[in-house]
A = this chain, B = another copy of it.
Amino acid sequence: MIKVQMKDRFWNKYMEVVRKEVIPYQWNALNDRLPDTEPSHAIENLKIAAGEARGEFYGMVFQDSDVAKWLEAVAFSLENHPDQALEETADELIDLLGRAQQEDGYLNTYYTIKAPEQRWTNVRDNHELYCAGHLIEAAVAYYQVTGKRKFLDIMCNYTDYIDTVFGNEEGKIRGYPGHQEIELALVKLFDVTGNERYLELSKYFIDQRGQNPHYFDMEREKRGDTNPFFYHHGYEYHQAHEPVRDQEKAVGHSVRAIYMYAAMADLALKTNDDSLRKACERLWDNLTKKQMYITAGVGSSEFGEAFSFDYDLPNDTAYTETCASIALVFWAKRMLDLETNSKYADVMERALYNGTISGMDLDGKKFFYVNPLEVWPKACTRHDKRHVKPVRQPWFTCACCPPNLARLISSIGHYMYSKDDNQLFVHLYAGNQTDVELNGQMVNIIQTTEYPWDEKVTLSINPETADSFTIALRIPGWCKQPELWVNGERIHVGIVSKDGYAYIQRTWEKGDHIELLFPMPVRRMKSHPSVRVNAGKVALQRGPVVYCLEEVDNGKNLSNIYLPKASRFDVTFDKDLLEGVVTIKGDAVRIDPNAWEDNLYASNDDEQILVEIKAIPYYAWCNRSPGEMLVWINEV
């Protein structure tokens, strides 16, 4: 049991934005109260399914999942900030979900309204199990936060029914979802109910995936659908091209992939399945060492919202869906549960401070679905870059990312720590007050820091009575010279570290304190030489935060900025800029375009102009005047 109360300048601001802006805005969206926006119809769909309104289903086939993600975000928000009115609204919505549920437990408005007789005839494309998964996740969260069982019961009821539909037994469907999600949800449902059937059903979906004969083909034939599958005529898109334990590389739709990897990590832990664990480790290595942007954005191809191949990481056509980086946080946390190794927490942190929150503007009113690392707004009119929006959008027809961010941010406290009987693992640094059970007693932990801007972190350890346990502190991979003190006594980090965590085992007494210093010089990051597009370029990173140049600070044509190898950087915390960020300034050169005649090509020596550049955190780009943005800067 770990109970985290966030008290962090950085994250609490985001949590407040989600609570005050995103959740109410999304509630209005779900209820079709937004002007100038495609209606969501999600609540109306539920009412129609419940027989309480008349009309047709409207929206994406997975429209129900927006309701689920909203409820999950509400649950997490209530955990941080009780709000009776909001809870009542949620309760009413849960009641409506109950009334929309069919006699046999089935709960999906698309099929209930449109084609009740066609349930489960197209699990490849039609997201029934995906929606069920999100509803299960929401029900678990709502139960955990409020203690109310109604939603949980609805979803247990639905899951029990699903369990009668899928399986190897005679008369059951030997299928699995086209969009993975229910697999990890079922593990959560198992966690709170203890019902082994849920764990087994999750394992069934994972084990069955990619087996021959291929279920999607059988299903397709049964439907009389003769079209080849759109994605290169194969099922890499769904990671269903081969059994999951044989998969070597991250392929296909990146959100589907990572949700599945997260479930695989869960199952590897809970069923002690070494082959699944090995598959997870292999896929993790491939994804994070060959296919991940420096922002922890993943999915470099717009076609299929998908992974591409090793080292193919174009910056200006990247897909890097907000949801995919969010999924990476989910997976990273589960890998940490499998193995305490900072390589997982490093990626989790990279995603949290960069590629996830870049998906939302600072006031929570606009969102990026796609998070490119280089934007030339005019080039976004090109047909092959039309997915790259140069400014955040108020909402999307496929509104997956905003509610996904809402639930991530509202549950940020869940990613700070993990524990076993007598060890507390500190994965992330952010202000919080936490109560955790260690050695059978509750220990209060107060973490104080101005991370990610400041280098210092303090933890105050307060057991009720003095006791021996271990505090394992992650040493961030980006930090080359960490320093550590316990009650003022310097401890050599190298000596106590294993796999990137410094283990402090001692008898702790109330008031003991740990101090950490993580020096944060500006680092010039380079890409592996095989990343062709980044050759000769550097990205600036300070602490966990990746920086970018914006036109508003640096003028047009950011590609014409060259950072000399020798130039030094000034770092300033600017409290008035972008709600308080550290900026990086440094000397650079540009080629003087005025010294060019109007030729397109010439062999003259360039005239260089000295300029000062100013870089801001990537996540905060496009919160002022729209314009160009660049992460990878030419070096000379």
B529 near A634: Cβ-Cβ < 8 Å: no
User: Which residues of B lie under 8 Å from residue A596 when comparing CB positions?
Assistant: 528-529
User: Which residues of B lie under 8 Å from residue A528 when comparing CB positions?
Assistant: 593, 596, 599-602
Interface centre among A289, A382, A527, A539 (most CB of B within 10 A): A382
B591 near A529: Cβ-Cβ < 8 Å: yes
Stretch in A38-46, A204-212, A301-309 touching the partner: A301-309
Cβ of A560 < 8 Å from any Cβ of B? Answer: yes
Cβ of A514 < 8 Å from any Cβ of B? Answer: no
Shortest CB distance A343–B (Å): 10
Interface centre among A524, A596, A601, A602 (most CB of B within 10 A): A601
Q: Which of B289, B303, B308 contacts A600 (CB 8 A)?
A: B289
Give bound CA distance, A342 to B337, whole Å: 71
Stretch in A71-79, A402-410, A503-511, A530-538 touching the partner: A530-538
Cβ of A550 < 8 Å from any Cβ of B? Answer: no
User: Beyond A308-B382, A557-B529, A596-B528, is A634–B535 a contact (Cβ under 8 Å)?
Assistant: yes
Give bound CA distance, A535 to B381, whole Å: 21
Give bound CA distance, A590 to B593, whole Å: 29
A634 near B536: Cβ-Cβ < 8 Å: yes
User: Which residues of B lie under 8 Å from residue A99 when comparing CB positions?
Assistant: none
B384 near A303: Cβ-Cβ < 8 Å: yes
Q: Write the chain B residue with the least CB distance to A378.
A: B309
Q: Write the chain B residue with the least CB distance to A381.
A: B309
User: Which residues of B lie under 8 Å from residue A532 when comparing CB positions?
Assistant: 376, 557, 559-560
Cβ of A636 < 8 Å from any Cβ of B? Answer: yes
Shortest CB distance A150–B (Å): 46
Which bucket holds chain A's interface residue count? 35 or more
User: Which residues of B lie under 8 Å from residue A289 when comparing CB positions?
Assistant: 598-600
Give bound CA distance, A325 to B617, whole Å: 44
A382 near B312: Cβ-Cβ < 8 Å: yes
Q: Which of B312, B384, B593 contacts A529 (CB 8 A)?
A: B593
Shortest CB distance A321–B (Å): 16
CB neighbors of B among A260-314 (8 A): 285, 288-290, 292, 294, 301-304, 308-309, 312
Q: Which of B292, B376, B530 contacts A593 (CB 8 A)?
A: B530
Cβ of A414 < 8 Å from any Cβ of B? Answer: no
Cβ of A379 < 8 Å from any Cβ of B? Answer: yes
Give bound CA distance, A359 to B147, whole Å: 70
Cβ of A83 < 8 Å from any Cβ of B? Answer: no
Give bound CA distance, A292 to B600, whole Å: 8
User: Which residues of B lie under 8 Å from residue A559 when comparing CB positions?
Assistant: 532-533, 535
Give bound CA distance, A292 to B634, whole Å: 24
Give bound CA distance, A430 to B531, whole Å: 43
Assembly of this chain: how many copies? 2
Interface centre among A302, A304, A559, A603 (most CB of B within 10 A): A603
Shortest CB distance A546–B (Å): 9
Cβ of A249 < 8 Å from any Cβ of B? Answer: no
CB neighbors of B among A508-529 (8 A): 523-529
Residue-wise interface mask of A (550-593) relative to B, using a CB-CB cutoff of 8 A (1 in contact, 0 not): 00000001011010000000000000000000000000001111
Residue-wise interface mask of A (129-160) relative to B, using a CB-CB cutoff of 8 A (1 in contact, 0 not): 00000000000000000000000000000000
Q: Write the chain B residue with the least CB distance to A535.
A: B559
Shortest CB distance A187–B (Å): 29
User: Which residues of B lie under 8 Å from residue A604 when comparing CB positions?
Assistant: 526
User: Which residues of B lie under 8 Å from residue A294 when comparing CB positions?
Assistant: 600-601
Q: Write the chain B residue with the least CB distance to A561.
A: B535
Give bound CA distance, A533 to B535, whole Å: 12
Q: Write the chain B residue with the least CB distance to A343.
A: B599
Cβ of A233 < 8 Å from any Cβ of B? Answer: no
Give bound CA distance, A303 to B386, whole Å: 11
Shortest CB distance A351–B (Å): 14
A382 near B301: Cβ-Cβ < 8 Å: yes
Cβ of A434 < 8 Å from any Cβ of B? Answer: no
Give bound CA distance, A304 to B376, whole Å: 21
Shortest CB distance A534–B (Å): 9
Q: Write the chain B residue with the least CB distance to A304.
A: B383
Cβ of A196 < 8 Å from any Cβ of B? Answer: no
Give bound CA distance, A80 to B559, whole Å: 49
Give bound CA distance, A603 to B569, whole Å: 15
B606 near A526: Cβ-Cβ < 8 Å: yes
Q: Which of B285, B376, B384, B535 contacts A317 (CB 8 A)?
A: B384
Shortest CB distance A63–B (Å): 27
Give bound CA distance, A601 to B528, whole Å: 6
User: Beyond A526-B601, A526-B603, A596-B528, is A562–B591 a contact (Cβ under 8 Å)?
Assistant: no
Q: Which of B541, B562, B600, B636 contacts A527 (CB 8 A)?
A: B600
Q: Write the chain B residue with the least CB distance to A591.
A: B529
Q: Write the chain B residue with the least CB distance to A590.
A: B529
Give bound CA distance, A230 to B483, whole Å: 62
B312 near A379: Cβ-Cβ < 8 Å: yes
User: Which residues of B lie under 8 Å from residue A531 when comparing CB positions?
Assistant: 600
User: Beyond A289-B599, A312-B378, A560-B535, is A302–B634 a contact (Cβ under 8 Å)?
Assistant: no
Q: Write the chain B residue with the least CB distance to A602.
A: B526
B290 near A600: Cβ-Cβ < 8 Å: yes
Identify 9 new A-B residue pairs, CB closer than 8 A, beyond the known A289-B598, A535-B591, A539-B601.
A288-B600, A289-B599, A302-B384, A526-B603, A526-B606, A529-B557, A529-B560, A529-B593, A532-B560
- Please list the 3 inter-chain residue pairs (A to B) with the smallest Cβ-Cβ separation, ordered nearest first: A303-B383, A532-B559, A523-B603
Instruction: Jot down 29 A-B pairs with beta carbons below 8 A, ordered by A.
Output: A285-B598, A288-B600, A290-B600, A301-B384, A302-B384, A303-B382, A303-B383, A308-B382, A309-B378, A309-B381, A312-B378, A312-B382, A525-B603, A526-B602, A527-B600, A527-B601, A528-B593, A528-B599, A528-B600, A528-B601, A529-B590, A530-B593, A531-B600, A532-B559, A532-B560, A533-B559, A535-B634, A536-B634, A539-B601
